[in-house]
Amino acid sequence: MNRRYVTADVFADEKFKGNPVAVVLDAEGLSTNQMQAIAVEFGYSETTFVLPPRNPANTAWVRIFTPSREIPFAGHPNIGTAFVLASRAASGRTPLPDQLVFEEAAGLVPVIQLKENGKLVGAELTAPEPLVRLSQVPQDRIAECLSLDSADILINAHAPQVASVGLPFVVAELASRDALRRCTPNLIAYKGLLPIDGAVSIYAYTRDAGPDATGAGCDVQARMFTPRMTEDPATGSATAAMAALVAQVRGQSELVLRVSQGVDMGRPSILIASVDSDNGKTRVRIGGKCVSVMEGSFWLASSDQS
């Protein structure tokens, strides 16, 4: 079967910036093993596979794979997938509604289209789960994982901690932009610490942010390192977890953060994280711009395996 795919750069408005995602549009009949192999072939931090929804009231069933595993939820793959589907629908006879709903292992993920002057420019999702705070991690262990000194790890607002709004990460605040710039993942230290409570990656951020790559102001600068010792240019699910954690420790019912990520690896990205509470229920959203990059197809027969 000929299977179409589209790639998009997410959390950026120019090609070759932000975080790339591959969206496989014709995923019916593919087995889990085939999807994993395709994700390895693309080599992006995530590849998504679009399937018919199990509930026709929803837009699609979306499965998300890193090069090493399937994950229940992620930020930039959802935003990129929504952007790709909405872009293709807009060029046809039946545009999609402003809000899309994806079925995923973590639950239903609502994603709204972001438009400027009537033109689709990106998307914003609502995290499928409330903030969950799990194990705290000693600052010296995090410092070792990032090749930093213990003094580079701040603990006055919160200790380094596993946090999740659908996918867990170790979230650590750093003392300075310089410390963030000096981060280098240490494989031995990573293997000694992770996984912990399902978290396999470390998201480091600093409020010593300064301007982003465009010269505009931002509230937070961040970097995220995976167990493969690679850096992620823009991590929506981790940014959402960080924003929810910051709002909680500050005691704020509303918070909006402009987050810059990927600068130190040459893939500058801008993410907008929002946290608000209504009737005791906290909602965490993450959004940003997208740009289409490539499209094509490959032939792969269906598998008899699920």
**pLDDT, tens digit, 9 for 90 and up, residues 140-151:** 999 999 999 999
For residue 28, tell me if it sits in a domain: yes
For residue 257, tell me if it sits in a domain: yes
For residue 304, tell me if it sits in a domain: no
- What pLDDT band is residue 95 in, cutting at 50, 70 and 90? confident
Scanning the chain, the segments in alpha helix (DSSP H) are 32-42, 75-90, 139-145, 177-182, 187-193, 236-250
d(Cα 255, Cα 305) in Å, to the nearest integer? 45
The answer to whether residues 92 and 136 touch, using CB atoms and an 8 Å cutoff, is no
Whether residues 79 and 218 fall in one domain: no
For residue 179, tell me if it sits in a domain: yes
**What does the mean pLDDT of the chain come to?**
95
Structural domain span for residue 237:
132-287
Total count of domains within the chain: 2
| Domain CATH for 72 | 3.10.310.10
Position 7 pLDDT exceeds 70: yes
Whether residues 172 and 248 fall in one domain: yes
Positions marked active-site: 46
Whether residues 277 and 139 fall in one domain: yes
Whether residues 169 and 259 fall in one domain: yes
For residue 61, tell me if it sits in a domain: yes
Whether residues 188 and 86 fall in one domain: no
Whether residues 172 and 117 fall in one domain: no
Predicted confidence (pLDDT) per residue in 45-56, tens digit: 999 999 999 999
* Average pLDDT for 108-126: 97
* Average pLDDT for 275-286: 88
For residue 305, tell me if it sits in a domain: no
Counting residues of the chain whose pLDDT is more than 90, the rounded percentage is 91
Whether residues 254 and 294 fall in one domain: no
For residue 306, tell me if it sits in a domain: no
pTM for the structure as a whole: 0.95
d(Cα 43, Cα 67) in Å, to the nearest integer? 6
Whether residues 120 and 136 fall in one domain: no
Whether residues 147 and 283 fall in one domain: yes
For residue 57, tell me if it sits in a domain: yes
Which residues of the chain form beta strands (DSSP E)? 2-10, 19-24, 47-51, 60-65, 70-71, 99-104, 107-116, 119-126, 132-136, 153-154, 161-164, 168-174, 202-206, 220-225, 231-232, 254-261, 269-278, 281-299
Position 113 pLDDT exceeds 80: yes
* Average pLDDT for 213-227: 87
Whether residues 29 and 11 fall in one domain: yes
Whether residues 156 and 51 fall in one domain: no
| pLDDT for residue 305 | 63
| pLDDT for residue 91 | 83
- What pLDDT band is residue 94 in, cutting at 50, 70 and 90? confident
Position 161 pLDDT exceeds 80: yes
Whether residues 177 and 266 fall in one domain: yes
